Structure 1
Amino acid sequence: MSGEGKVVAVTGASGYIASWLVKLLLEQGYTVRASVRDPYARKPMLNVIISLFYVMHTTADPRKTEHLVGLDGARERLKLFKANLLEEGSFDALVEGCDGVFHTASPVLLSAHAQPEELIEPAVKGTLNVLGSCAKAPSLKRVVITSSLASVVCNGKPLTSDTVVDETWYSDPVYCEENKLHYPLSKTLAEKVAWDFAKEHNIDLVTLHPVVVIGPPLQPILNLSVEFVLNLLNGKTAISEPNYRFVDVRDVALAHVKAFEILSANGRYILDGMVPNYELFKILHPLSPGLVTLEEKCKDDKPFASAYNVSQEKAKSLGISYTPVEVSLKDTFESLREKKFISF
């Protein structure tokens, strides 16, 4: 197995992408150190049991960790740690002795009511705190950070069918701030400080920039992008955009592992898939009688040509074959039904 004998850390391990990443790392033989923000269990007996398994002084909220401790290989090669993005030095113990670090922890709030401080400080300070711990670890070979397309395209440049977005694009903090794009601003500022810090401290850094991530969740709690699919299926949200850009969570997790393992990997990687609305409708409609759609023109692809294109060239070097969107959506649907978020 490619990860046998290697130790890696995953921040925000109970999250959507991170959970799949932990699963994949364990399957490939890695020893995984996983940080969880809220480590205090609500079930005392389970708290004791997990403590015995992982020889830890504190343990995790079962809602956030049961899906992790139940993974194949977890009992032997998964250890849970408490860490706080806003606490300097909080990640020292997690990172010490690791070959690699995957920093996935960052707040995701897209509501218009979300306040900048809810996003920016945890994203920026959290990134600096994680990298600060990495700078103290001489064993460390590479850091992989989960960023977003939000730190790439939000700059005011025209996005037309002739536009090709690639890894040389950067979102503009001033543009984001002026337009109250708090989430893109948080991802943009966090990426900037990451690259500045990595250069100053000679850290080998790779950043990944996925679009909207879908696919079956491992965790029992809904995340934002899967909730979006759920709301489409149950009729609470209409298909209202020219196109949606999707990428499967399993592909994103694999891209993280590849970005760590491939020695030539460097810089930024956009992870993107796209489907126009008429295709999205055809995929989702058989699954849900409550699906809210646009007018009949939704069936015609011409009005829904891609608003812009995204270069796939650099991502191909990671050897990722994207899961078809119809497979991702159907697997998401089946997972939501299995977890009883939907009943039809």
Structure 2
Amino acid sequence: MNPLHCRSIGMFSLILWSLAFGTTVALSSLSGPTNSPTASKKRVHIVTGASGYVGRAIVHHICENASISLIQSEVHHCQDVLCLVRPNRVATEQAYWNILLQDIASPVSVRVLPYDMLDGGASLKDALASVVVEQDHAETCVYHVASVFGPTEDHQQTALDNVKGTEDLVRTLVDSGMTCRLIMTSSMAAVRGSGQRPRNGKYYTEQDWNTISLLGANWGASYQWSKAESERKAWEICRHHNIPMVALCPSFVFGPPRDSINSNSYSITLVGQWARGESQVQSRLFVDVRDVAAAHVAAAIELEAAGQRYIVSLETRAPSQDIATWLREVCQTTGLSDPEKVHFDGEFDGGAIPIGSKEVDAIDRLRRELRVTLRPIKDTIRDMAGNLLKETAQNDC
């Protein structure tokens, strides 16, 4: 038998063995000697805000899909993840990932480093330096997820900080001289402001930009302004310096969190309040956090995605009455909350585009170019509410 064929069979068997028995196998030990420079590649993922709702989901997606990618691909992509988090979260986050990687037998290496988005790029510079030293020929992807969303004491300063953090990050990438791809977590807030009509008069596309939100009007408007301004700044710098960038514009992100106890996500707070009957259920344009994570990783890998802007969202706004119905079903099934307390806002009609009408054009393009298929909103609500109610019950015990 051909010795190369024997080695391939042996590698495949070893991978299956490691997955079955929970053993982490170093990818370098599986690749074996080769004369092909493309047979084994290192891909480094650097994620800012990696302890947050979306950032953690991205890292989970990388870790949980690495073994499948390894078996299916002819090119072995050894994967390293650098999680950039607030300095006071480093030890906790490193312990979290060490345990998880053992549990799922992922071949991914995860390191946690301190990050401050307002330090002028110093902490990102340190992270990039470690990549240069350790992996000279690595494919590097930087996911800029870190951003503050939700009411704050000074929403105007928070918005300015969001913009400064983005600009400093992109300029640090330029100064590093590294070849890397930037995946920018933007938002539907950068696509349209409250009440803004779409350019085509029908629905929003990636060609639309928020031109009406004003800094300082209220916390929502300040946040919307910050996302539009941050994305504009990033595109401007990246185009001038030939940095490949992909912008992802998710709508309101919902879905089961990986760690709701240590998360201050506004989405988690909101759905928890809805399920417990503490506030009215509101109509929203949704996307599942798991699908947002998948879109980020696909944007880093798909060659044709460079230079593109994607809306990541379901296309119609979910009626508040439907959301309330699904929440009541979860409350009744789990017995963890009183379904009669769930109530909804029936007055809001959707604003610029009526509820039930197509609001964005996104699904076909995501499936075609990023190979990402979005979950139905009903699944997202049920999974998220069930998760939050169970965690609340466990914490109350």
TM-score, normalised relative to structure 1: 0.81
Matches within 5 A, 1:1-12: 5-12=42-49
Matches within 5 A, 1:198-277: 198-219=238-259, 220-222=261-263, 223-240=265-282, 243-265=283-305, 266-273=307-314, 274-277=317-320
CA shift at 1:218, angstroms? 1.1
2:378 to 323, 326, 329: 326
Cα 1:294–1:138 shift into 2, 3 Å = closer
CA shift at 1:158, angstroms? 3.2
Cα 1:206–1:252 shift into 2, 3 Å = same
Cα 1:8–1:294 shift into 2, 3 Å = closer
Distance 1:218 1:155 in 2: 30
Cα 1:199–1:336 shift into 2, 3 Å = same
Structure 1 residue matching 2:330: 3-state secondary structure: coil
Distance 1:308 1:137 in 2: 43
Matches within 5 A, 1:1-344: 5-27=42-64, 28=66, 30-39=79-88, 60-62=90-92, 66-72=95-101, 77-88=109-120, 89-96=122-129, 97=132, 99-110=140-151, 114-121=154-161, 123-154=162-193, 157-158=196-197, 163-172=202-211, 175-177=213-215, 179-180=217-218, 181-219=221-259, 220-222=261-263, 223-240=265-282, 243-265=283-305, 266-273=307-314, 274-288=317-331, 289=339, 290-294=341-345, 305-306=355-356, 309-312=359-362, 313-316=364-367, 317-340=369-392
Structure 1 residue matching 2:279: 3-state secondary structure: coil
CA shift at 1:190, angstroms? 0.8
Structure 1 residue matching 2:370: 3-state secondary structure: coil
Query: 5+ unaligned residues in a row in structure 1: which ranges?
Result: 41-59, 299-303
CA shift at 1:246, angstroms? 1.0
Alpha-carbon deviations, 1:181-211, whole Å to 9, x = none?
1110111111111111111221101111111
Distance 1:320 1:83 in 2: 30
AA in 1 matched with 2:53: Y
Distance 1:305 1:251 in 2: 22
Alpha-carbon deviations, 1:84-128, whole Å to 9, x = none?
1111222112124361111100111246x542102322x111112
Structure 1 residue matching 2:149: 3-state secondary structure: coil
User: Which segment drifts farther, 12-21 or 149-158?
Assistant: 149-158
Contact 2:79 2:107 in 1 (8 A): no
* Larger-Rg structure: 2
Contact 1:162 1:309 in 2 (8 A): no
CA shift at 1:315, angstroms? 2.4
Distance 2:323 2:379 in 1: 12
Distance 1:292 1:234 in 2: 10
* Greater share of residues in helix: 2
Contact 1:100 1:141 in 2 (8 A): yes
Cα 1:6–1:171 shift into 2, 3 Å = same
Query: 5+ unaligned residues in a row in structure 2: which ranges?
Result: 1-26, 28-38, 67-77, 133-137, 332-338, 349-353
- Count of residue pairs brought into register by the alignment: 314
Structure 1 residue matching 2:379: 3-state secondary structure: helix
Structure 1 residue matching 2:88: 3-state secondary structure: coil
Cα 1:333–1:75 shift into 2, 3 Å = same
Distance 2:62 2:108 in 1: 13
Structure 2 residue matching 1:232: 3-state secondary structure: helix
Alignment correspondent of 1:301: none
Distance 1:233 1:125 in 2: 36
Structure 2 residue matching 1:108: 3-state secondary structure: coil
CA shift at 1:234, angstroms? 0.5
Cα 1:248–1:175 shift into 2, 3 Å = closer
Distance 2:213 2:285 in 1: 22
CA shift at 1:30, angstroms? 1.8
Distance 2:294 2:143 in 1: 12
Structure 2 residue matching 1:90: 3-state secondary structure: helix
Supply the RMSD in Å over aligned alpha carbons. Answer: 3.1
Structure 2 residue matching 1:80: 3-state secondary structure: strand
Contact 1:34 1:94 in 2 (8 A): no
Structure 2 residue matching 1:337: 3-state secondary structure: helix
Structure 2 residue matching 1:177: 3-state secondary structure: coil
AA in 2 matched with 1:271: V
Structure 2 residue matching 1:167: 3-state secondary structure: coil
Contact 1:161 1:308 in 2 (8 A): no
User: Which segment drifts farther, 312-321 or 18-27?
Assistant: 312-321
CA shift at 1:306, angstroms? 3.0
Alignment correspondent of 2:31: none
